[in-house]
Amino acid sequence: MEVDKGKGEAEETRKVAEADRDTVTLKSSDGKLFEVSKEAAARLSTVLAGMIAGGSIDDNGTDLKQIGSEALENVVDYCNKHANSIPSAALISSSISFNTAPFKEPEEWERKFVDRLSHDALFDLVEAANFLGMERLLDVTCHKISEMMKGKSPDQIREVFNIKNDYTKEELEEIRQELAWAFYDD
Amino acid sequence: MAGRSGRKKRGGRQRRNPASELTEDLLVEILSRVPYKSLCRFRCVSRGWSMLISHPDHRRKLPQSLVGFFFASHDGNRYPESARHFVNVSSRDRRPPFIHPSLSFLPNPDCDYLQLLFSCNGLVLCSYYQPGAPVTYIVVNPATDKWVDVPVSPRWSDKPPTIVRLGFDPAISSHFHVFAFDIDSGGAADNVEGIVLGVDIYSSKTRLWSYKPCGSEIWMNSDSISRSVFLDGMLYMVALDHVVVAVDVDGKTWRVIDMPFRSLYSVEIIDLSQGRLHVTIIDNLPTTKLSIWILDHASEEWALKHASFHHNGMYPP
């Protein structure tokens, strides 16, 4: 951690320089630095937007202690891809031309983006998106996880989330009977 | 999750599992996107998950658990001709209905007199038709066998209402409101189209009716069978000219929201799902198109959720 020696003038020039830059530097919990477009960061993350507006962005890397380097790399990657993606005009795959509000479903590139993530990376990214107030990324990652969960048995879910079954045998039998219909195919 | 932080991957063979470290909020966020059937099944995962899924705080976000529904049937070759039924949806076994459709706890539950009109979050608005007497209304909680009379409004003596709806949200208040719309269809007996003059609102808390004029130009059919949706203290209904109208429980705030698109032969049906207002639009010409839209309440804009397209629909081109 650096200590500011001469505040005042140095601080001033640093702030001016920072305001001129069009990227921000983010620092992961394990000390790795990542650069991301200021515009994309402010647009996609309410937390980063607040920090940029409030001048609490550190030129030497804004500390994001809650986010590991792998997750932060994915966040930055997402921001860059988002900045480059052309909003798709055909939001639904049919011949009807409803010319209205955006569809909430992930777009093709977003789908690909989360599909290539490992299981752990996906969950880390959900946490990071949540922490940074990235509504769209949260949407996309939660959607992916819900798709993975769909159709799974309670046993499979326990394995994924590392949950201990704390029901007694009798209790579980009772609930299973009550919910028997939910155990048929989705 | 306390106690787990001690074992990092360095020493033991225990792998780090970010999935097990999710906060409740994030888990609810994910579960809200899971289909209803899977969600029900996940109640078997653990006590914690079951509590999370059925917790009142999350009910609005998660797919709703519907216990069952009422329906009526009429058959001239049967006695009685009219009958009420209740079907369980949450159980496939042959258990008797959770709610006995006879509603025998009511003073006069005969199907010829008592009609179930609309339900709202577990309460049911019913009307009593008795020969020679004006229509009266009651609100019933079929799960608890309780019911209350809705007193007749002083305004009804010269003009009984035709559009009466119920607003109830247990998450906001244990009291309900009954909305009776005042429609002026110009005097002609066969004319059902009319302008909304105002709304008479009954509060079960004050036990009083209060009348408020309508703040916008809204047209409705006086025999409208549009469902109503009660959300965040406002009652939503479909009105004429492809709009949704909303009025709050004080009758002071009125909103008129255009449907996502207008088409001469479209039919619109509103409903509530996961705490958001949805509209289903059936557009019959030139071919049948079905689309479902969600309202963003802040911006009053609709987002398309589903659409289907039938080349040979009900009306062939």
Mean pLDDT confidence for A5-15: 53
Burial class of residue B245 in the structure, from the number of CB atoms within 10 Å of its CB (0-12 exposed, 13-18 middle, 19+ buried): buried
Least CB-CB distance to A102: which of B35, B92, B303? B303
Kindly give the interhelix angle for A108-115 and A69-84, rounded to the nearest 10 degrees.
160
Domain assignment present for residue A156? The answer is: no
Whole-number Å distance between alpha carbons of B272 and B71: 19
Which range, A43-57, B2-16, B160-174, B199-213, is most confident? Answer: B199-213
pLDDT band at B9 (very low <50, low <70, confident <90, very high): very low
Quick: pLDDT tens for A160-179.
999 999 999 999 998 888 77
Detail the DSSP E strand segments found in chain A: 23-27, 33-37, 62-63
**What CATH number does the domain containing A68 carry?**
3.30.710.10
Residue B216 in 3-state DSSP?
Answer: coil
Quick: pLDDT tens for B122-147.
899 999 888 888 889 999 988 778 89
Answer whether residue A16 shows pLDDT above 90.
no
Other beta carbons within 10 angstroms of residue B289's beta carbon come to 21
Residue A145 token pair: 């996880």
Quick: pLDDT tens for B51-85.
898 777 776 677 766 677 888 888 989 888 888 88
Answer whether residue A79 shows pLDDT above 90.
yes
Answer whether residue B315 shows pLDDT above 90.
no
Domain assignment present for residue A117? The answer is: yes
What per-residue confidence (pLDDT) applies to B180? 96
Residue B296 in 3-state DSSP?
Answer: strand
Other beta carbons within 10 angstroms of residue A174's beta carbon come to 12
Domain assignment present for residue A73? The answer is: yes
Residue A85 token pair: 């993606």
- Residue A182 and residue B33: Cβ atoms within 8 Å? no
Average per-residue pLDDT for chain A: 80
Among A93, A125, A141, A161, the strongest candidate for a mutation testing the B interface, having the largest count of B CBs within 10 A, is: A161
Torsion sign (Cα): B211, B217, B220, B222: positive
Domain assignment present for residue A51? The answer is: yes
Q: Closest approach of chain A CAs to the CA of B18, in angstroms? A: 6
Surface of B (268-297) touching A: CB under 8 A: 289, 291, 296
Answer whether residue B91 shows pLDDT above 70.
no
Whole-number Å distance between alpha carbons of B75 and B64: 33
Strand partners, B124: B119, B140
Q: Closest approach of chain A CAs to the CA of B278, in angstroms? A: 14
The domain locations on chain B are: 21-62, 262-317
Domain assignment present for residue A169? The answer is: no
* ipTM, interface predicted TM-score of the complex: 0.79
Residue A36's domain comprises: 9-150
Higher pLDDT, B131 or B89: B131
Q: Which residues contact B113 (CB under 8 A, 6 or more apart)?
A: B128, B129, B130
Quick: pLDDT tens for B12-34.
456 688 888 899 999 999 998 88
